[in-house]
C-alpha cells in the first residue's frame, strides 16, 4: 500500500450538544480515489472540513504527511485543493482571473498555473470559456471553474464536496472522467457523495459514514462480500439500518461563509 497522506485518529467533532462525528479513525493514502458516502447529516462535509484544517477536532487528531514527516493538518494546507459545494467565485472576474487569483495567493507563477489550467480545461471541454466573466455561468460552468481553481497550484490531495450535485448529465460525466484521470495518474482525491452508482464508477475505495460514525471502509467488491449483497445499494442499506439522525445546521452560517472562501492555505 502507498504511503499515508492524511490520518484521522479517534476524532470526535461536536457543535454544542450535537456530535457530528464520533471516534472516527480513517487513513487516506497517496494515489487513491476515495468516496465518502452517506446521507444528509451523516458527517461527510464535517470530515472534509477537518481534513483541510477548517475545523479543529473536539478531541482526537488529524495529521498530514509532508516530505515523510507527520505534520499538523494546518501546516499542510498548501498541499490541499478544495472544491466546496458553494463555489464562491468572484462574479466580476473571468474564470481564468478567478483561477489566477487563487494560484497567485499560493505563490504559483502565472505561466505554470495557465499550463495546468489549460490542460484540465480541455478535459472538461471548458477551454473556450476561460476568458468569460463568471457572472451568468451555469452551475456546471461554475463547478468546472472551481475544480480548475483547486488544481491550479498542483495540490497533493483534492477534496471535493458533492462535486456533481445539481449538474447536468454531460457536466457530471466530465467531472467524473477528470477525477478518474487524476486517480489513474497517481493523484489523491477524496470526495463526498450520496450517489452510490457514481462512487462505484469512480472510486478505488468507499468509506460509508452514517450518523457520525464509519460503518464500512473498503473497495466496492469487499463491501459486497462483507455484507453478502449483490450491489452497493443493498450493501449500504445493510450497513445503515438504524434510523438517520436529523440533519443539523449548527454553526453553519459562519462556517459556510469561510468554506466558500477557502481559497488559500491560510483560509482567508
CATH of the domain at 117: 3.40.50.300
Question: Is 221 in a helix, a strand, or coil?
Answer: helix
Compute the C-alpha angle 19/9/40, nearest 5°.
40
Q: Does residue 90 lie within any of the structural domains?
A: yes
Q: Does residue 259 lie within any of the structural domains?
A: no
Give the model confidence (pLDDT) of 80-128 as tens digits: 999 988 888 999 999 999 999 999 988 899 999 999 999 999 999 999 9
Q: What is the mean pLDDT of the chain?
A: 87
Owning domain of residue 144: 4-254
Q: Is it the case that residue 248 has pLDDT exceeding 70? A: no
Phi–psi pair at 36, nearest 5 degrees: -95, 105
Looking up cell 484544517, which residue turns up?
A: 53
Which residue, 33, 42, 43, is CA-closest to 13?
43
**What is d(CA 68, CA 169) in angstroms, rounded to the nearest whole number?**
40
Q: Does residue 204 lie within any of the structural domains?
A: yes
pLDDT bin (cut points 50, 70, 90) of residue 246 is low
The domain total for the chain is 1
The H or E element that residue 72 is part of is strand 69-72
The whole-model pTM stands at 0.85
Q: Does residue 260 lie within any of the structural domains?
A: no
Higher pLDDT: 238 or 244? It is 238
Q: Does residue 234 lie within any of the structural domains?
A: yes
Q: Does residue 45 lie within any of the structural domains?
A: yes
DSSP letter string, 88-119: ---TTSBHHHHHHHHHHHTT--HHHHHHHHHH
**Region for residue 265 given its phi and psi (left: phi exceeds 0; alpha: psi -120 to 50; beta: otherwise):** alpha
Q: Does residue 126 lie within any of the structural domains?
A: yes
**Region for residue 74 given its phi and psi (left: phi exceeds 0; alpha: psi -120 to 50; beta: otherwise):** alpha
Q: Does residue 89 lie within any of the structural domains?
A: yes
Q: For residue 18, how many other CB atoms are within 10 A of its CB? A: 15
Which residue, 35, 104, 25, is CA-closest to 60?
25
Give the model confidence (pLDDT) of 40-63 as tens digits: 889 999 999 999 988 999 999 999
Higher pLDDT: 211 or 263? It is 211
pLDDT bin (cut points 50, 70, 90) of residue 237 is very high
Amino acid at each position: 500500500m502507498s504511503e499515508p497522506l492524511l490520518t484521522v485518529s479517534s476524532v470526535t467533532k461536536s457543535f454544542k450538544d450535537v456530535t457530528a462525528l464520533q471516534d472516527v479513525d480513517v487513513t487516506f493514502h497517496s494515489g487513491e480515489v476515495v468516496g465518502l458516502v452517506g446521507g444528509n447529516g451523516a458527517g461527510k462535509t464535517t470530515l472534509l472540513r477537518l481534513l483541510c484544517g477548517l475545523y479543529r477536532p473536539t478531541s482526537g487528531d488529524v495529521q498530514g504527511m509532508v516530505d515523510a514527516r507527520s505534520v499538523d493538518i494546518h501546516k499542510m494546507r498548501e498541499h490541499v485543493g478544495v472544491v466546496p459545494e458553494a463555489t464562491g467565485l468572484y462574479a466580476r472576474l473571468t474564470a481564468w482571473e478567478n483561477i489566477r487569483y487563487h494560484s497567485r495567493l499560493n505563490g504559483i507563477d502565472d505561466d505554470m498555473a495557465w499550463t495546468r489550467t489549460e490542460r484540465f480545461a480541455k478535459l472538461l471541454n471548458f477551454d473556450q470559456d476561460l476568458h468569460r466573466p463568471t457572472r451568468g455561468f451555469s452551475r456546471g460552468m461554475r463547478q468546472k471553474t472551481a475544480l480548475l481553481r483547486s488544481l491550479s497550484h498542483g495540490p497533493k490531495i483534492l477534496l471535493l464536496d458533492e462535486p456533481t450535485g445539481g449538474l447536468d448529465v454531460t457536466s457530471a460525466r466530465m467531472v467524473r472522467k477528470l477525477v478518474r484521470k487524476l486517480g489513474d495518474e497517481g493523484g489523491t482525491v477524496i470526495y463526498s457523495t450520496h450517489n452510490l452508482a457514481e462512487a462505484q464508477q469512480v472510486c478505488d475505495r468507499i468509506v460509508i459514514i452514517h450518523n457520525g460514525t464509519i460503518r464500512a471502509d473498503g473497495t466496492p467488491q469487499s463491501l459486497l462480500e462483507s455484507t453478502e449483497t449483490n450491489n452497493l445499494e443493498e450493501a449500504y442499506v445493510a450497513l445503515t439500518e438504524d434510523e438517520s439522525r436529523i440533519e443539523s445546521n449548527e454553526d453553519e452560517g459562519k462556517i459556510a461563509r469561510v468554506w466558500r472562501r477557502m481559497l488559500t492555505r491560510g483560509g482567508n
